[in-house]
Amino acid sequence: MLEQVLSGLMQRYMERVPDVKAIIQAMIQEGIIAKPEDVENDHIAFRTMGVPQLGIQSLEKIFLHYGYTKKSAYHFPEKKLDAFWYAPPAPHFPRIFISELRVQDLSPKAQELIRSYTNEVKSDPVDALNLDDASAVDSFLHSGLWRLPTLEDYKLLAAESEYAAWVIYNRYYLNHFTISVHNLPPGYNTIPEFNAFLERKGFTLNNAGGKMKVSPDGGLLQSATVANMITATFANNETHPIAGSYVEFAERKVLPQFAHLPTDQVKREHRRDGFEAGNADKIFESTYSSQTGR
Ligand code: OOG
Ligand code: NI
């Protein structure tokens, strides 16, 4: 079940984000990995609209049903976002990061605009889903939810919250998947080295707060590409380039209490887990025009 849902998400994501295949191809060419399946997916992320019948409380039900465990909360007052992360039922599955727009904190105008779309969803749509039917869940995650937005509404929202504009068009499309770098061969298994490789290959990295985002404890290092642009078709067949999704990279250092373990005995549970608000705050900007316009 979970395998099927995750592979459906990855398939759509790879079609929408050319950087995914290009990065995996570059890694194979460089001899970092032998085949695409060698990539370890640290986590995937979704964005949601925080209205009562949707948001985190709705989307999380799918993954809780598949055995994920809800973990810590993160808050982003400036960006008007909240988030949680979810630990997988087994270590070979990715963690999940779900964020939500604090709709009630936006201007009355933006709230009204968002609700004109989200009110089309009368009750929590996940409650009406058979979560044991993987193809139903797959279609739901890639379905419309609300009417196709107009370009005008998209632009109005973007002026106040680029996150809101992203969600009104992209909905539950995967926002990113994350390549774990710490288990890669020496020379590529740290964020500074992996970033250098990516830039050598011509990929553009998000530089908000610096290309490398480091948690205060020093254990979680992250970087991300700038989102690939997609040609969005809005209502009345108007087309406009907008930010699609991006790729993230994570290095989780071995926790101090396991520093004595030989490298070949280090498992996921020995490394820094979870997320970091300060890192995430900058990673969100991978889809913001300040980054995509560079
Ligand atoms: C999520 C940004 C945060 C992380 O790993 O901290 C994040 C987003 O852009 O929706 O992915
Ligand atoms: Ni992430």
What are the pLDDT digits (tens) for 242-251?
Answer: 999 999 999 9
Q: Are 64 and 70 in contact (CB under 8 A)?
A: yes
What are the pLDDT digits (tens) for 33-75?
Answer: 999 999 999 999 999 999 999 999 999 999 999 999 999 999 9
How far apart, in Å, are the Cα atoms of 183 and each of 13, 200, 260, 281, 285?
Answer: 23, 21, 17, 25, 27
How far apart, in Å, are the Cα atoms of 269 and each of 61, 159, 220, 265, 274?
Answer: 25, 42, 14, 11, 11
pLDDT of residue 182: 98
Residue type, 70: K
Pairing mode of beta strands 246-252, 176-180: parallel
CB neighbours (10 Å) of residue 290?
12
pLDDT of residue 179: 98
What are the pLDDT digits (tens) for 114-157?
Answer: 999 999 999 999 999 999 999 999 999 999 999 999 999 999 99
- Report domain extents, the chain: 2-292
Q: Virtual CA dihedral for 281, 284, 288, 292, nearest 10 degrees?
A: 110
Residue having the nearest C-alpha atom to atom 2 of ligand 1: 284
- The DSSP string of 120-189 is TS-S-GGGGS-TT-HHHHHHHHTS-SSPPPPHHHHHHHHHH-HHHHHHHHHTTS--EEEEE-TTSPTTSS
pLDDT of residue 161: 98
- H or E segment to which residue 243 belongs: strand 239-243
In angstroms, what is the span from residue 268 Cα to ligand 1's centroid?
A: 20
pLDDT of residue 190: 98
In angstroms, what is the span from residue 251 Cα to ligand 1's centroid?
A: 14
In angstroms, what is the span from residue 262 Cα to ligand 1's centroid?
A: 31
Q: Of ligand 1's atoms, which has the minimum distance to the CA of residue 250?
A: 5
pLDDT of residue 277: 98
pLDDT of residue 166: 98
Q: Are 39 and 33 in contact (CB under 8 A)?
A: yes
Q: Is the CB of 99 under 6 A from ligand 1?
A: yes
Q: Are 176 and 12 in contact (CB under 8 A)?
A: no
Residue type, 81: L
Q: Of ligand 1's atoms, which has the minimum distance to the CA of residue 178?
A: 5
d(CA 13, CA 176): 8
pLDDT of residue 101: 98
What are the pLDDT digits (tens) for 163-218?
Answer: 999 999 999 999 999 999 999 999 999 999 999 999 999 999 999 999 999 999 99
- Site to probe by mutation for ligand 1, drawn from 283, 285, 286, 290 as the one with most ligand atoms within 8 Å of Cβ, is 283
pLDDT of residue 279: 98
Rama region for 281: left / alpha / beta (φ>0; ψ in -120 to 50; rest): alpha
| Residue partners of 43: CB distance under 8 A and separation at least 6 | 85, 94, 95, 96, 97, 177, 178, 248, 250
pLDDT of residue 7: 97
Q: Is the CB of 106 under 6 A from ligand 1?
A: no
Q: How distant is the alpha carbon of residue 55 from its chain centre?
A: 15
Does 3.10.180.50 match the CATH number of domain 2-292?
yes
- Site to probe by mutation for ligand 1, drawn from 49, 56, 97 as the one with most ligand atoms within 8 Å of Cβ, is 97
